[in-house]
Amino acid sequence: MTSRERFLAAVACQPLDRPPVWIMRQAGRYLPEYRALKAQSSFLAMVKTPELAAEVTLQPLRRFSLDAAIIFSDILVIPEALGQGYKFRDAGGIEMDFRLESKAQLDRLNPVGVAARLDYVGKALERVKAELKGEKALLGFGGSPWTLGTYMLEGGSADEFQRSKAVFYSDRPLFNALMEKLTAALIEYFQMQIRAGADAIQIFDSWGGILAGQDYEAASLRWIRDIIAALPKGFPVILYAKGTPSQFTDQAFSGASVLGVDWTVDLGVVRKLVPGNIALQGNLDPVLMNTTPEIVRHEVTRLLETMRGANGHIFNLGHGIMPQAKIECVEALVDTVTRWKN
């Protein structure tokens, strides 16, 4: 069985001898080869240069026995393609070119032709697909409309998301119009990624957890549901919505094939909550990658034991790997999973 076959079997909740494994942000700053490349080019230049994006995507697969690659890109390429660019603040975080404050600004954002403006992502996917030769699964991704909208409405990174919530509560027509544009853009973007060879799409609803529970459907999940419905029927979609344990049941009926789960909940309990035809992804605490290989092996084994006998598990962290993660800890994680027998 190839890694790609293993990944797709897990998505389909078929019995497996061990779960497939990949790591969110597996291509990134914890790798010395990534840092060497980054020293010669900016982050956005790497994202927008297919040769470099493909190289960064493949780096972790050369080092670790991972079952899937995820394309190296950024969720904020969508607002940029619509007409709201961004940059990284010197002190950290994101700064958008402007804060979205009016209908006139919103009207100038153009979702038509987004796929053409983001063709560099498609070209990178095609390059990686050719390199993988069908052996490994290839994931595309994007942010949810709500998560992207927070950056656009706040003008960048934020702590409390006061303005995003205020617009949702006090100017629902503006909010819904923004979500509609983002939804249309993401549908076109994901369809392009699928044509370029993606085996699955992960939707990052990274800020879904900051919403009041009763608002999650109207502010986020309804738009995610519309996106999934517009993709080819049955195409694998992973929905990762950090900090939303009370929404798992509704997310299970969103059309997603897989629910990504953060590290704050017991994965075995979630397995009992959601239908058996929905796979689960996660959910090791990313901080463990900063400890020791011995601790990592113990905690990985404990999580695997929790899911023993349960179909539909993709092993991953509960959030993205941190820049200070230790290579030997990642090696211990991957080795423990790949040696596991259900």
- Residue type at 94 in one-letter notation: I
pLDDT band at residue 49 under the 50/70/90 scheme: very high
pLDDT at 35 over 80: yes
Instruction: Give the per-residue pLDDT at 57.
Output: 98
Instruction: Report the alpha-carbon distance of residue 142 to residue 5 in Å, rounded.
Output: 23
Kindly report, residue by residue over 209-262, the tens digit of the pLDDT.
Answer: 999 999 999 999 999 999 999 999 999 999 999 999 999 999 999 999 999 999
Phi, psi of 312 (to 5 degrees): 75, 55
Instruction: Report the alpha-carbon distance of residue 54 to residue 35 in Å, rounded.
Output: 15
pLDDT at 91 over 80: no
List b or e across 223-233, with b for residues whose CB sees 16 or more CB atoms inside 10 angstroms. Answer: bbbbbbeebee
Asked if residues 3 and 135 have their Cβ atoms less than 8 Å apart, the reply is: yes
Instruction: Report the alpha-carbon distance of residue 300 to residue 303 in Å, rounded.
Output: 5
SS3 content of the chain, % helix, strand, coil (to 5): 50, 10, 35
Instruction: Give the per-residue pLDDT at 172.
Output: 97
pLDDT at 107 over 80: yes
Residue where the block lists tokens 């617009």: 167
Instruction: Give the per-residue pLDDT at 92.
Output: 81
- Residue type at 149 in one-letter notation: G
- Cα–Cα separations (whole angstroms), residue 292 to 131, 287, 329: 33, 11, 6
Q: How is domain 3-339 classified at the CATH fold level?
A: TIM Barrel (3.20.20)
The secondary element (H helix, E strand) that includes residue 282 is strand 279-284
Asked if residues 48 and 342 have their Cβ atoms less than 8 Å apart, the reply is: no
Instruction: Report the alpha-carbon distance of residue 325 to residue 230 in Å, rounded.
Output: 37
pTM higher than 0.75, yes or no?
yes
pLDDT at 90 over 80: no
**DSSP β-bridge partners for residue 317:** 284
Three-state secondary structure call for residue 294:
helix
Instruction: Report the alpha-carbon distance of residue 288 to residue 30 in Å, rounded.
Output: 14
Q: What are the structure tokens assigned to 308, written together? A: 């023993």
Residue 125: HSE in the Cβ half-sphere, 13 Å Cα cutoff: 25
Rounded average pLDDT over 304-327: 96
Instruction: Give the per-residue pLDDT at 143.
Output: 98
- Residue type at 179 in one-letter notation: M
Kindly report, residue by residue over 161-208, the tens digit of the pLDDT.
Answer: 999 999 999 999 999 999 999 999 999 999 999 999 999 999 999 999
Instruction: Give the per-residue pLDDT at 160.
Output: 87
pLDDT band at residue 110 under the 50/70/90 scheme: very high
Q: How do the domains of the chain map onto residue ranges?
A: 3-339
Q: What mean pLDDT, rounded, does the chain reach?
A: 96
